[in-house]
Amino acid sequence: GENVEQHPSTLSVQEGDSAVIKCTYSDSASNYFPWYKQELGKRPQLIIDIRSNVGEKKDQRIAVTLNKTAKHFSLHITETQPEDSAVYFCAASDNQGGKLIFGQGTELSVKP
Amino acid sequence: GAVVSQHPSWVICKSGTSVKIECRSLDFQATTMFWYRQFPKQSLMLMATSNEGSKATYEQGVEKDKFLINHASLTLSTLTVTSAHPEDSSFYICSARWDEQFFGPGTRLTVL
């Protein structure tokens, strides 16, 4: 089955800096890669996603890149703000509404 | 966006008792719902896929006789933790599939 590895487990940046979180997946059948932000005790919130027919997608300060050949995808957050502090999870699925296999999570801390 | 609710939001029970958690899609019909479990500071782990009108599909290592799933209608799936023990204490999150997955707010289960 699919296995998703996520790094780093913790990330601390200064406000205004960029943050990058990386994930790798094992199943070449996976074609949908969402990223979620989860605050303590809350549900995961979809922040951006990418399908395998696209190499990069951007939404304001957030971007995701996908390298199908290497089976890895990354989340880039620019101009970080304290409210970006949360746990971020990558995930992989073989379709947009299918079961999600999550990475281990990255606790991002943005210091003012 | 689509709304998924869970009930209860938290529950405390004694060891050996059973607990039922409801997951409802409020404004759409979901033929497929998913149940995840999240231990503190860990990732979301898929437990099972719930299909309306048929038996749930459990992930490897998840005891189907302990975690009973019933998806009796297109808007309701239930997870019953039978003979709960302290090690079952966790955050249980459901999601419902429409064009993408929409997560419920989660249920915090504490078994004393």
Lowest mean pLDDT among B7-11, B68-72, B104-108: B68-72
| Inter-residue contact B33 to B97 (CB < 8 Å) | yes
Average pLDDT of A87-112? Answer: 94
Residue B4: the pLDDT is 96
The 3-class secondary structure across B28-94, one letter per residue, is CCCCEEEEEEECCCCCEEEEEEEECCCCCEECCCCCCCCEEEEEEECCEEEEEECCCCHHHCEEEEE
Residue A102: closest CA among B103, B82, B12, B44: B44
Confidence of residue B98 (pLDDT cuts 50, 70, 90): confident
Number of H helices, E strands in chain A: 0, 11
Q: Does B2 touch chain A (CB under 8 A)?
A: no
pLDDT tens digits for range B33-45: 999 999 999 999 9
Please provide the average confidence, as pLDDT, over all residues in chain B. Answer: 94
> Would the pLDDT of B81 be above 80?
yes
Say yes or no for a CB contact (<8 Å) between B108 and A41.
Answer: yes
pLDDT in tens, A59-97: 999 999 999 999 999 999 999 999 999 999 999 999 877
* Residue B1 three-state SS: coil
Q: With CB atoms and an 8 Å threshold, state whether B43 touches A97.
A: no
Collapsing DSSP to helix, strand or coil, B106 comes out as coil
Nearest beta carbon to residue A102 from set B44, B49, B97:
B44
Whether B53 has a pLDDT exceeding 90, the answer reads no
Between chains, do B44 and A100 touch, taking CB under 8 Å as contact?
yes
Cβ density class A42-66: b for 16+ within 10 Å, e for less: ebbeebbbbebeeeeeeeeebbbbb
Mean pLDDT, residues A3-7 taken together? 97
Cβ-nearest to A103 among B43, B49, B93: B43
What is the least distance, in Å, from the CA of B1 to any CA of chain A?
12
Q: How confident is the model over B53-77, as a mean pLDDT? A: 93
Can you tell me which residue has the tokens 């050996």?
B16
Q: What is the pLDDT of residues A47-60, one digit of tens each?
A: 999 998 889 999 99
A contacts of B101 (beta carbons < 8 Å):
97, 100
Number of residues in chain B: 112
How far is the CA of A52 from the CAs of A35, A88, B91, in angstroms? Answer: 14, 20, 31
From CA A97, how far away is CA B99, in angstroms rounded? Answer: 6
Average pLDDT of every residue of chain A: 96
Q: Nearest CA of chain A to the CA of B82: how many Å?
A: 24
Beta-carbon contacts below 8 Å between A and B? 46
